Amino acid sequence: MPDYFLSFVPGDSFLHKLDPRTKLIATMLTSILIFRLHLTGLVLLFAFFIVLYDLSSVRIALLRNLRPIAPFLILIFIFQLFLIPGNIFIDLYGFSATTEGLFEGLRIVGRFILLIQFASLLTATTSPAHMTAGIERLLRPLSGKVLGATSFEIATMMSLSIHLVPVLNRFLKEVYQAQLCRGLGRQKRISGLVSLAIPLLRGAFRMMDDISMGMESRCYQGNYRTSLFELKMKKNDWIALMLVFVLLLGFWNLNITLIPSYQI
Amino acid sequence: MCIKPGEIVGLTGPVGAGKSTLLRLLVGLLEPDKGIVQIDGCPFHVKKVREMVGVLFQHSSRQLFEKTVYDDIAFGPSNFGFDRRDIERQVNKAVNIVGLDKSLLEASPFGISGGEQKLVSLAGIVAQSPRYMVLDEPFAGLDTKGKTRLPHILQTLQNMGLGIIVISHHLDKLLGVAPRIIYLRDGIICFDGQRQQYLLDDSLPLPPITALMKRLHARGLPVNPATFTVKSAIKQLEYLETGDVDNA
């Protein structure tokens, strides 16, 4: 099980072997579809997710992925349930829950859950290096004026940020221990947070400054560079993309709802 | 090992010997697998320990965050429940002990030099008025003025009855402040004893000046083989030159 939210799990499955570009485009298309669909469609899409999950052979903690956003999901659901007018089925101290609210709430929460699960499948089966290479290749046609930077610069920025995450994590731990010894957590909670955030930000900026100076002093130019392993789309990639396209077109107008009278 | 109040102990050893781990054990950031940590004979209680033991971490200037130096020094005492008047008294006392310029108190801790930042973090710990202190590499990052100042600060704290552990790689500096030395290797205490004994033990690393004086002594020159400061070495050699062997 991966330790962190949205982390990479090494493996050798069908999904791991796909080109990162295929996976990125497929995830993007699926996300568009998710926002288009109603409840029934979402359930079908969830079935599709389970198939992919099985194919990936990684065992990510599906429920744990939701933990960071769980409070928001619950809040959204409650708001929808009680604030949408319609057929009342429960009356709680003047607050009335409606059938329409229930389905709308389920739909919105379902969308978020699916988005997160598809994204976590993408990150679990694609290593950060691959992901960066994929994004770089996808952005290459937009290099220069459109983006304001070349796709290589963006790729460098991304891989640098990814590599710095564990470093900053260690840094934060160090500062946290120092503040603990100065009595952090005894009284003021907010100032406690500030006492961690300011040293962390300062350290991060300093680190970035050092890195950029180090790179410049070693003649980093930031222009076009060839890579050792150029990405290549294989047969499987095209098949997978075709499948996702078919899915997108097939589901596009799938607006059958569970209750015929329910139309939002 | 046991550290008494009013004692300065120097802890040294190669990289990875377990010095920082020992520090974390002493303040309850880590829990021992085996054995116990006791402070003043009391059973180990994390919250109490943090009040009794002040720690200066290696990169201590990274922990500063308040708007002014004064607030930063006051952070510890205010967390430990001192009231406002006590905090002011503690901060003033700490600033006096550390020898920080009073005009810096209203400055931002990020606008002062690295050496001053180190002194500010040290003052922050002194202001907590702990019974014991652990200082990890206090000499690193200090300017020349700070380096000459630090032994005096430690002396003052020792006179106030504090037990102090100084962890350092700078052997010559460490020998200058700590009469008792502990040498750690691979998590095992290889040596624990007085400074003079340490200097006479050939299996332990020595500061370059001691190694030189030992060699001179072995060649038959009447010098003290347990010399660890350049100043005293120069004095002895000068006496030799003038032929005043008795004084040497």
What residue segments make up the domains of chain A, in order of their start? 1-150+230-264, 162-223
Cross-chain Cβ contact B50/A181 below 8 Å = yes
What's residue A224's pLDDT? Answer: 66
Q: What is the radius of gyration, based on Cα positions, of chain A?
A: 23
Reported as a pLDDT band with limits 50, 70 and 90, residue A152 is confident
The H or E element spanning position A90 is: strand A88-92
CB atoms A174 and B65 under 8 Å? no
Tell me the percentage of chain A whose pLDDT exceeds 70: 88
What is the fold, at CATH topology level, of the domain defined by B8-200? Rossmann fold (3.40.50)
What ipTM describes this predicted complex? 0.78
pLDDT digits (tens, 9 = 90+) for A202-243: 888 988 899 989 988 988 876 666 777 777 888 888 998 999
- Tell me the residues of chain A between 25 and 54 that have a Cβ less than 8 Å away from chain B: none
User: Chain A within 8 Å of B49 (Cβ-Cβ)?
Assistant: no
Distances (CA, A) of A3 to A8, A9, A61, A123: 10, 10, 10, 13
Instruction: Decide which of A166 and B237 is more confident.
Output: B237
* Local confidence band at A158 (pLDDT 50, 70, 90 cut-offs): confident
Contact B145, B98 (CB under 8 A): no
Reference B150, options B216, B86, B100; nearest CA is B100
| Residue of B51, B65, B112, B125 for testing the chain A interface, max A β-carbons within 10 Å | B65
For residue B106, which phi and psi values (nearest 5 degrees)? -90, 0
Q: How many CB atoms lie within 10 A of CB A12?
A: 7
What is the domain partition of chain B in residue ranges? 8-200, 208-242
The predicted model gives B79-84 an average pLDDT of 84
Instruction: Specify the higher pLDDT residue, B83 or A184.
Output: B83
**DSSP state string for chain B:** ----TT-EEEEE-STTSSHHHHHHHHTTSS--SSS---BTTBPP-HHHHHHHEEEE-TTGGGG--SSSHHHHHHHHHHHTT--HHHHHHHHHHHHHHHT--GGGGGS-TTSS-HHHHHHHHHHHHHTT--SEEEEESTTTT--HHHHHHHHHHHHHHHHTT-EEEEE-S-HHHHHHH-SEEEEEETTEEEEEEEHHHHHH-TTS---HHHHHHHHHHHTT----TT---HHHHHHHHHHHHHT-TTT-
Pairing state between β B132-136 and B53-56: parallel
Say if residue A6's pLDDT is above 90.
no
B173-221 pLDDT, tens digit each: 888 889 999 999 888 888 888 888 888 888 888 888 888 988 888 888 8
Of A148, A152, A132, the residue nearest A224 (C-alpha) = A152
